[in-house]
Amino acid sequence: MSFIAGIIAIAVTTAAACAIVGPFLVLRRQGLLTEALSHSVLPGIVLGLVLFGGFGHPLLILAPAGVALIMVLFIDWLGNTRRLAAQAELGLVYPAMFSIGVIGLSTRFRGLPLSEHAILVGDINFAALTNEVVFGVELAPRAFLIMLAILTLNVLFVSIFFKELKLAIFDPELAEASGLSPKGLGTGLLLLVSTTIVGAFQAVGAVLVVALLVAPAATAILLSARLGRVIVYSVGIGIVGAVLGFWIAYELDSATSGTMTVVLGGFFLLAVLISPRRGVVARALAHRRRRIVFAENLLLLCLSNHETGAVCEGDPVDAISDHIGWDLRFARRIVRKCRSDGFVEQTANSVVLTERGGQRVHEWQRFLSKDLPGQGG
């Protein structure tokens, strides 16, 4: 496998592994917990080095994952005591965990090619240089093989427990009544997230791991309301963002992990703007449509109170503008819209309701009579 192909393979598998479990964290409102998990990796690595003696040991990943899970359970216990403000336990625990790791790394393992900086930002280019050798044959970058195994594990977990996870997220009371354990599923999910973070830290660093877990999921949630599609969109966004971020970093000679994070953040901002359901543009257009519909109904209601409509010696739209208090250009626009919809007819000195316009007024009055207190029948 070539150097560039190795980098892309690591980026794709890492992005996919994170993006599969990310939506569940975001929907459970545990996005900030990923930050705590990513920082708890460092003391877990120090513990793993003490127990196993080197980076090459295949069980090294277990110690950081176990430490991260213990930290999650401890944070959950602190939250359940209700003695701290919301999420204050995160601000207390994860800086302490990271500091413990820094102290252990700087005192006992000062000579190792690992530092708190490497934990935070990683180096996917360096990871692609470290190939796994089996029986004298170089297979692929070690980081790729690790993330491929974690990706497979995440896919299996989500596939097997998809319905249970969905029910536990959206209706935990029904899940408990059905014999499921939302807390147990949540613990299993967080164990997967911990393992994913531990497996990815050497390649992409803690910062990009958090971005890969949260940004694609948050972006996908803006694009769809169906959990299955959210997961698919999240994986696609994560992969595209990671690969595009690498190529941009390659062209600009910039930090790879940082560029990937910026690209994923750009995707999220783009979704905030153009999301068909929750985007800024969609909401602005919906507000504009509601404003036009309300103005149409108001005009028709005003005309219905005059048997002959708005009749005047001059321009009838001027009379409408003065009577309702609209800007003249806005009044012309609403009259033109009502005329094109067949609700009114306009002559040189009048604007009158059509039969269709009268039906619209009757429907709107019935709607208002149902909503206004004391008006319902």
Q: What domains sit in the chain, N to C, each tagged with a CATH number?
A: 3-275 (1.10.3470.10), 281-371 (1.10.10.10)
Give the pLDDT band of residue 54 (cuts 50, 70, 90).
Answer: low
Bridge partner list, 118: none
Report pLDDT for 180: 76
Q: Is 310 helix (H, G, I), strand (E, B) or coil?
A: strand
Q: Residues 171-194: pLDDT tens digits?
A: 777 777 777 777 778 778 888 888
Mean predicted lDDT score pLDDT of the chain: 79
pLDDT beyond 90 at 372: no
**Per-residue confidence band for 308, with pLDDT thresholds at 50, 70 and 90:** very low
pLDDT at 219 over 80: yes
Nearest of 11, 81, 98 to residue 46 by alpha carbon: 98
What's the average model confidence in pLDDT over 2-21? 88
CA-to-CA dists, residue 228 to 16, 31, 183, angstroms: 15, 19, 22
pLDDT for residue 220: 93
Q: What is the pLDDT of residue 287?
A: 87
pTM, full prediction = 0.76
Predicted local distance difference test score (pLDDT) of residue 133: 60
Mean pLDDT, to the nearest integer, of 311-324?
75
- pLDDT, one tens digit per residue, over 240-283 is 998 999 899 888 888 787 888 899 999 999 999 988 877 888 88
More confident call, 72 vs 159: 159
Ranking 21-30, 143-152, 293-302, 366-375 by mean pLDDT, the lowest is: 366-375
Beta carbons of 77 and 92 less than 8 angstroms apart: no
- The lowest-confidence range among 69-73, 102-106, 122-126, 298-302 is 122-126
User: DSSP labels for 72-94?
Assistant: HHHHHHHHHTT-S-TTHHHHHHH
Percent of the chain with pLDDT over 90: 15
Q: Which of helix, strand or coil describes residue 30?
A: coil
Q: Give the per-residue pLDDT at 274.
A: 87
Q: Which residue has the higher pLDDT, 355 or 124?
A: 355
Is the model more confident about 79 or about 26?
Answer: 26
What's the pLDDT at 16? 93
What b/e string do you get for 62-93 counting C-beta neighbours within 10 Å, with b at 16 or more? bbbbbbbbebbeebeebeeeeeeeeeebbeeb
pLDDT at residue 335 greater than cutoff 80: yes
Q: pLDDT at residue 337 above 50?
A: yes
Tell me how far apart the alpha carbons of residues 136 and 242 are, in angstroms, rounded to a whole number.
Answer: 31
SS3 267: helix
**Which one is predicted more confidently, 89 or 170?**
170
What's the rounded Cα separation, in Å, for the pair 65 and 194? Answer: 5
The residue-averaged pLDDT of 13-42 equals 81
Higher pLDDT, 101 or 250: 250
Report pLDDT for 239.
Answer: 94
Higher local confidence (pLDDT), 154 or 1? 154
Residue 356 clears pLDDT 60, i.e. is over it: yes
Torsion of CA 46, 51, 57, 60, to 10 degrees: -50
When pLDDT is cut at 50, 70 and 90, the band that residue 236 belongs to is very high
Q: 136 by DSSP, 3-state: which?
A: coil
- Alpha carbons 233 and 225: distance in angstroms, whole number: 11
Give phi and psi for 150, each to the nearest 5.
-65, -40
